[in-house]
Amino acid sequence: MSAQTTLRGDYTRAAPDYSLEQDWAAYTADEHALFRRLYERQAKLVARYACAEWIEAIGRLDAGREIPKFCEINRSLAKATGWRIVAVPGLIPDGPFFTHLAQRRFPVTVWLRKPEEFDYIVEPDVFHDFFGHVPLLYDRVYADHLAEYGKGGLKAMRLDAITMLARLYWYTIEFGLMRTPSGVRAYGAGLLSSGGELAYCVDDPRPRRRPFELERMLRTDYRIDRYQDCYFVIDSFAQLMRDTAPDFTPIYARLRNLPALDPQAA
């Protein structure tokens, strides 16, 4: 979410808000084929492991043949929930990121990973951003919640509480699980776009699966370089919306003096 020093991607073409043209014509046939292979691998898993809201939305998108044209997606997305995708060169700084979300624009990285990164990639690419994040923007409650998160991000910057709020994003938007009538399902984008962790997060007996607990999430550290040791399970997007609605100001003030929690600790 925050800019590092060694990002890939061409930041020279980007506007001050980090948006740029997708330049769809510049993708090669090999890139479209790699996107299709990534999509096909995940398509076999999602029926069993993804939440119903995500499955319902991806069905409407018909995006498995090639890297999608963002402008086409935006026509149906804007109608559904008022959200739009904006193309960005890669990870962007917190301020512009939260501003985009607060104004219902989801930043999607334009570049696709290399073939040797088929199974694992450190930075988000167009496959992760599109396949993982965009379908849920069609869900009304999720879409409203993510815009509120963006506003909450701008507020957390003023309160010097980004570390805490970023943990919430990690354990919900990126690695969140949901309890459903057919069992635990994934709604986090980092899970939905992962070849290995999508089955692991639901089936493997090792990781801890805790019920949604706001203050614990704000305090729990996370690892970005391995499967998670701890997931948080929501009952519904309505619960996510409701439980994140309170003013975080006093919560940040209280939690900032407490030690962070280790995701591996029992």
Partner that binds at residue 148, options ligand PHE, Co ion, none, CB closer than 5 to 8 Å by kind:
ligand PHE
By CB under 6 A, tell whether 243 contacts ligand PHE. no
Q: Nearer Cβ to Co ion, position 49 or 97?
A: 97
Q: Nearer Cβ to Co ion, position 18 or 252?
A: 18
Residues 73-132 that bind ligand PHE (CB under 6 A): none
Partner that binds at residue 152, options Co ion, ligand PHE, none, CB closer than 5 to 8 Å by kind:
ligand PHE
Which window, 79-87, 95-103, 122-130, 244-252, contacts ligand PHE (CB under 6 A)?
Answer: 244-252
Q: Nearer Cβ to ligand PHE, position 70 or 98?
A: 98
73 phi, psi to nearest 5 deg: -55, -40
Smallest gap from Cβ 129 to Co ion, in A, equals: 6
In contact, 80 and 138? CB cutoff 8 Å: yes
Rounded CA separation 120/122 (Å):
7
How many residues bind ligand PHE (CB under 6 A)? The answer is: 11
Contact residue for ligand PHE among 130, 149, 175, 231 (CB under 6 A):
149
The C-alpha torsion from 30 through 31 and 35 to 40, rounded to 10°, is: 0
By CB under 6 A, tell whether 245 contacts ligand PHE. yes
By CB under 6 A, tell whether 248 contacts ligand PHE. yes
Which window, 27-35, 69-77, 101-109, 121-129, contacts Co ion (CB under 5 A)?
Answer: 121-129
By CB under 5 A, tell whether 189 contacts Co ion. yes
Contact residue for ligand PHE among 117, 123, 148, 213 (CB under 6 A):
148
By CB under 6 A, tell whether 56 contacts ligand PHE. no
Which residues are known to be catalytic? 128, 133, 174, 193
Partner that binds at residue 189, options ligand PHE, Co ion, none, CB closer than 5 to 8 Å by kind:
Co ion
Residues at the contact surface with Co ion, assessed by CB under 5 A: 124, 189
